[in-house]
Amino acid sequence: MEYFKTCNGIPVYISDTKKGEKTVALLHGYLETSEVWAGFTKLLKPHFRVIAIDLPGNGLSGTQQDENSMEFMADVVAEVLNHSKVDRATITGHSMGGYVALAFAEKYGEQTEKLCLFHSTPNPDTEEKKQNRDREIALIEESKLDLILKVNIASMFAGENLKRMEEAIAMISENAAISEPEGIIACLRGMKSRRDMNPFLAGFDKPLLFIFGRKDKYISETVAAGLIEKFPNAKALILENSGHAGFLEEPEISSQKLIEFINNG
């Protein structure tokens, strides 16, 4: 079922399978929309209720005028779950969605059953990354979003997967083009200003799952290995044949791990 609901003052596009004793909330990444989870949802819905939304500033959802902070987006997710009468859910976030998931877990611990960071980290932006965000904001303000899409979306995938991921790349690009430029800029500002969440995660007492790609161009093997070592109580999956989008590149392995995690911890 797909519908709109005003949450935290903005219209939010929601996809909800409605059925299942346990619920998993899927939060997409930068330049994505809830549509990116469509195939993955089909693998999960025989087991759980699956809720996905267009995060503020993306797809068909509204946006803050200046900045979509991770906390603001977490508030929107909380309102969606409240409206859906979901008391607790496994919050699963891809890339930027992982930053939102962390903010949600911090603010709404009672609604967080488990946490999955899918190609995402608790680390803040480096100075170099902040400069890259500023460059992207400038390009969008110059009506050059197409240049960002051409580079960033293909870079999500391992090189050897580009050919078979052509349809996925086209889908993500088309959906990103639907988003209002102001919304994408607001998300870039939110990611740039987000806090270091390592201290929070160090005290997080719920089950945690990291999923990383061996061939990820955005999160190096060194960074991934460092986080797995830093949080020894967390479960972890390294996808050998994935870049930054394992739920598209290796959906069966990814879904099996997430299903096992939700059911058994």
pLDDT of residue 232: 95
pLDDT of residue 162: 97
Q: Give the bridge partners for 53, in sequence order.
A: 14, 27
Which residue matches tokens 């999923």? 211
Residue 265 has pLDDT above 70, yes or no: no
The pLDDT confidence band at residue 35, using thresholds 50, 70 and 90, is very high
221-242 average pLDDT score: 97
Predicted TM-score (pTM) of the model is 0.97
CB burial string 189-204: b at 16+ within 10 A, e below? bbbbebbebeeebeeb
Residue scoring higher pLDDT (65 or 242)? 242
Q: Say whether 100 sits in a helix, a strand or coil.
A: helix
13-35 average pLDDT score: 97
Tens of pLDDT, residue by residue over 127-137, are 999 999 999 99
Task: Give the mean pLDDT of the chain.
Answer: 97
Residue 64 has pLDDT above 90, yes or no: no
Tens of pLDDT, residue by residue over 130-183, are 999 999 999 999 999 999 999 999 999 999 999 999 999 999 999 999 999 999
Residue 105 has pLDDT above 70, yes or no: yes
227-252 average pLDDT score: 98
Instruction: Return d(Cα 102, Cα 204) in angstroms, integer.
Output: 10
Which residue ranges form the domains of the chain, and what is each CATH number? 2-264 (3.40.50.1820)
Between the alpha carbon of residue 187 and those of residues 31, 58, 71, 118, 166, the distances in Å are: 9, 8, 12, 18, 26
Q: Is 20 left (phi over 0), alpha (psi -120 to 50) or beta?
A: left
111-121 average pLDDT score: 98
212-216 average pLDDT score: 98
